[in-house]
Amino acid sequence: MATIFTKIIEGDIPGTFVWRDDRCVAFMSINPLRPGHTLVVPIEEIDHWLDCPTDLRDHLMDVSQTIGQAISKVHSPEKVGMMIAGLEVPHMHIHLVPIDGVRDLDFANAAVSVERGALEEEAASLRYVLKAMNAPGVAD
């Protein structure tokens, strides 16, 4: 059975994308820890990051770094945190979150809901910066 992330990737469920290439996508979290919280997700359904092939892992890290640089430019946080938890959805995904302290990575602080318009604004800001960086996978 397809995961919720596969349903988002395939367009069966709405997603607010900032990146799409032949191996992965990135979209805004619907329960963000902070504005700018982005998920980088391989198209292939891989449950545990330990099972991720090396070449795909390296690609996901490259994409995460590029998107992290855009998040940093848009939000000017102290750092952009990265986390792979994988407990809530059995489909590997990387959380990228603008942070000013470790408390900003606490899922107890996640937004319960966010207006679609706010997610679209965040995504548009990130896509704008990614385009300015000449990033190859900016979503349309």
Which one of 37, 75, 91, 93 is the catalytic residue? Answer: 93
On whether residue 47 sits in a domain, the answer given is: yes
What's the structural domain count of the chain? 1
On whether residue 18 sits in a domain, the answer given is: yes
Q: How confident is the model at residue 1 (pLDDT cuts 50, 70, 90)?
A: confident
Q: What are the E-state strand segments in 1-140?
A: 17-20, 24-28, 38-42, 79-83, 94-99
On whether residue 30 sits in a domain, the answer given is: yes
Domain with 61 in it: what CATH number?
3.30.428.10
Each residue of 65-81: pLDDT tens digit?
999 999 999 999 999 99
Domain that holds residue 61: 4-132
On whether residue 138 sits in a domain, the answer given is: no
What is the rounded CA–CA span in Å between residue 42 and residue 127?
Answer: 19
**pLDDT at position 120:** 97
Please give the share of the chain, as a percent, with pLDDT higher than 70.
Answer: 100
* Average pLDDT estimate for 10-27: 98
On whether residue 75 sits in a domain, the answer given is: yes
* Average pLDDT estimate for 43-62: 97
**pLDDT at position 140:** 85
Residue 32 has pLDDT above 90, yes or no: yes
Q: Is 93 a catalytic residue?
A: yes
On whether residue 84 sits in a domain, the answer given is: yes
Contact, 41 vs 26, CB < 8 A?
A: yes
In the block, residue with structure tokens 């982005």: 38
Residue 86 has pLDDT above 90, yes or no: no
What is the rounded CA–CA span in Å between residue 127 and residue 140?
Answer: 8
